[in-house]
A and B are shown apart, each in its own frame.
Chain A
Amino acid sequence: MTKTENHTLGASGAWHDAQALGALRALRRAGTLAAEYTRVPALLARMPATDLPAAGQLLARLDPKEVCRHADVPVVTVAVTGHSTVAPVVAPLTAELARHGMLLEAKVAPYGSYLQDLMRPAAAGDDQPQLTLCLLDAHMVFDDVTVPWRVEDVEAAARARLSLVAGAVRTHQEAGRGLLVLNTVPLHRRHTHQLVDLRSRARLGAVWRDFNRGLLSLAEQHPSVVTVDLDPLLAEGVPAWDPRTAQYARARLSDALLAAYAREAAHVVRARLGRTRKCLVLDLDGTLWGGVLGEDGAGGVELGAGLRGEAFQEFQRVIGQLGAQGVLLAVSSKNDTDTVRETLRTHPAMVLREGDFVRVNANWKAKHDNLRDIADRLGLGLDSFVFVDDSLFECGLVAEQVPEVAVVRVDDEPALHPSALLADGWFDLFELTEADLERAGRYRTEALRQEFREDFGSYQDYLEGLGLEVALRPPEESELARVSQLTLRTNQFHLATERLQVPQVAERMERPGGYVLAVRARDRFGDHGLVGALFLRRDKEVLRIDNFVLSCRVFSRGIESACVAAVLEFARDTGASAVTGRFVPSPRNSAFAPFYAEHGFAVTGTDPDHPDAVAFRHDLVDIAPAPAHLRLQAAFGPFDGDPT
């Protein structure tokens, strides 16, 4: 690690750039903010959090259509509704989405219309927002309570209100209106302290928690509902409300709380769009332990013993907790590799061990080169990475050289490291699957495969030695979450990029003529698990491949070719005259545009639903055999009748 300052850093030596807001204002003054929107995420990445609301105000005034004329920015359409005045959330949400390179197109509902909004029928096609935010506050209960009131009155009002909300949420979900974000409702001292007897006051607290518990449980009942718990945000010292704006403008959640909420909501959007980050790359000196390993030696670094040593250990526990949930951990450290490996193996106070990391890059090369190396080795895009370092120089250089990487700068106070890492929900996802829990183990096995490969003269020899077995069969009910997750998170081998939630996967299975097939793979080193899915549909004599998704972990092993061969054979054996496929281009899947053509399909034109898409057809006359180095077992499930 080096403490050298870099020219790209502000004179203050702080990670946050006090000039960033000024730069944004200058763009706005010059009238070029829309045209130069692609510069905005980098400016916001290092903007002090206190400046983000002002940035949000400026960005919220841009016309999204104007921005899209200049830049290829993903637009997120959001309907905002709620019990009170909800428009103040638009500016902070604009800023938070802009941090992630996304552009907000918000539609704000009239005051207090949330129940009607939730129960409206679905809008047609593109008019349907991707996300609905329904902002709830204490008045949704207290509006129904009249003076004088007792706890029982609040309890009855809260029950009635919860039941109304639950019904409206169910209607919203059953109408297929997509992702809905609710929140728990802060209880104000303004209300508790209108009760003078302490027993009643305690009871009000309990009644209120039941109400919030009901709101939280709606997220358990509906897979496309998220309830953001505001309690942890308030516990960071954010005021819940401003009595004046609540009274005079019915804006009942404070600006600061809305800003914190918007940060959470933006990560919900990221998760929904499959942009959950997957790999956490950590510096060592000053980050995982105190001091400098190269100078102090393994025995001299601050870890375990002493106050700061305990704080570093605590940070390692937080990282271990993330790692246990499928976040891949890696090291990038400017140190001698042998010293680092020895320390990871033998330092008595290390919580994280060598085996917890899928890669340990300890060397003297630039960190951005190491990040690229780790990304290549893991087969992941740099936009899946979060990088943590205490050095301003390293953080600045990484931010400049590989802007796709999210940079978390920790400072010289290790007790604050966990808060810095968790300030953004970089690894938030909807549902943890078995594959997440086993991910790190799989990537480590992959490292063994790579070593094995290096022993072979040719790649083909390697494949033949691998003993690959592939199974193709309908997913069990317990596997639907994993199939859904593959569609949500896979960006490269994803031929039609259709993102499906669990109920939508189930619906595809139940459709007449519909098949969903899970791809499982294993080899001599272990089980890859469920790594892909095929979505098929029989349409008279034609078997359509609506979508095909395969995890990047298992590319280039012939699995995709074997799956297609099995589909073609199945089609022929069940009397189909052709199999069709479609390739729908996305920002990340272009490497697989020639896939169908390479597998004997002919281009037949475009897809009327997707002007950019290319349609393919295989006439089943000449079916290429599956690659000989693997064994494939296919069970397509019941075939419902002769299509002719």
Chain B
Amino acid sequence: MTTALADAEEFRTLLEEELGLPIRPEDLDRPLDDFPDWDSVLLLRLVTVVENLVGRPIPVVDLLETRTFRQMYEVVMGR
């Protein structure tokens, strides 16, 4: 795994490798409700994984309130 997330593509790889969730590039902007395998438990796991990766706390509430994977990526990157 890389030591930081360069772009949304790397975030997609991270979802796949860390959570076992295969996401296509075009899925990044689709609503999370479209993914039956997605659930809030994975989001909790994502908090741990991403914080280990970027080495700083991320705003958990913002992450919980995202509606797409791209929004998640943006929260993770602090945008």
- Interface residues in A524-576 (C-beta closer than 8 Å to B): none
Q: Which label, helix, strand, loop or mixed, suits the secondary structure of the A interface? A: helix
B18-29 vs A, CB cutoff 8 Å, 1 = contact: the mask equals: 111100000000
A251 touches B20 (CB 8 A): no
B4 within 8 A of A: no
A58 touches B20 (CB 8 A): yes
Q: How many A-B residue pairs have CB under 8 A?
A: 43
How near does chain B come to A506, taking the closest CB pair, in angstroms? Answer: 41
B44 within 8 A of A: yes
Chain A hits for B49, CB < 8 A: 54
A61 touches B44 (CB 8 A): no
A244 CA / B37 CA spacing, docked (Å): 23
A91 touches B45 (CB 8 A): yes
Given A255-B45, A255-B48, is A248 in contact with B17 using a C-beta cutoff of 8 Å?
A: no
B residues bordering A, Cβ < 8 Å? 16-21, 37, 39-45, 47-49, 60-61, 64
Given A91-B45, A255-B45, is A249 in contact with B17 using a C-beta cutoff of 8 Å?
A: no
Q: Which label, helix, strand, loop or mixed, suits the secondary structure of the B interface? A: helix
B19 touches A251 (CB 8 A): no
B47 touches A244 (CB 8 A): yes
Chain B, Cβ-Cβ closest to A256: B48
A25 touches B17 (CB 8 A): yes
How near does chain A come to B53, taking the closest CB pair, in angstroms? Answer: 12
Chain B hits for A28, CB < 8 A: 20
In-complex Cβ contact of A88 among B17, B18, B41 (8 A): B41
A249 touches B64 (CB 8 A): yes
Known: A87-B41, A88-B45, A245-B47. 15 other contacts (CB 8 A): A25-B17, A54-B17, A57-B18, A57-B20, A61-B37, A85-B41, A88-B44, A91-B45, A245-B44, A248-B60, A248-B64, A249-B43, A249-B64, A251-B41, A255-B48
18 A–B pairs (Cβ distance < 8 Å), ordered by A:
A25-B17, A29-B16, A53-B45, A54-B49, A57-B18, A58-B20, A61-B20, A61-B21, A61-B37, A87-B39, A88-B44, A91-B45, A244-B60, A245-B47, A249-B43, A249-B64, A251-B41, A251-B44
Chain B, Cβ-Cβ closest to A25: B17
Chain B, Cβ-Cβ closest to A255: B48
Q: Choose among A53, A57, A58 the residue with the greatest number of B CB atoms under 10 Å from its CB.
A: A57
B45 touches A60 (CB 8 A): no
Sort chain A's interface into a size bin. Answer: 20 to 34
A255 CA / B18 CA spacing, docked (Å): 14
How near does chain A come to B37, taking the closest CB pair, in angstroms? Answer: 7
Chain A hits for B18, CB < 8 A: 54, 57
Chain B, Cβ-Cβ closest to A55: B20
Chain B hits for A88, CB < 8 A: 41, 44-45
Given A88-B44, A249-B40, is A60 in contact with B20 using a C-beta cutoff of 8 Å?
A: yes
Chain A hits for B42, CB < 8 A: 57
A61 CA / B36 CA spacing, docked (Å): 12
Chain A hits for B48, CB < 8 A: 53, 255
A611-622 vs B, CB cutoff 8 Å, 1 = contact: the mask equals: 000000000000
Chain A hits for B61, CB < 8 A: 248
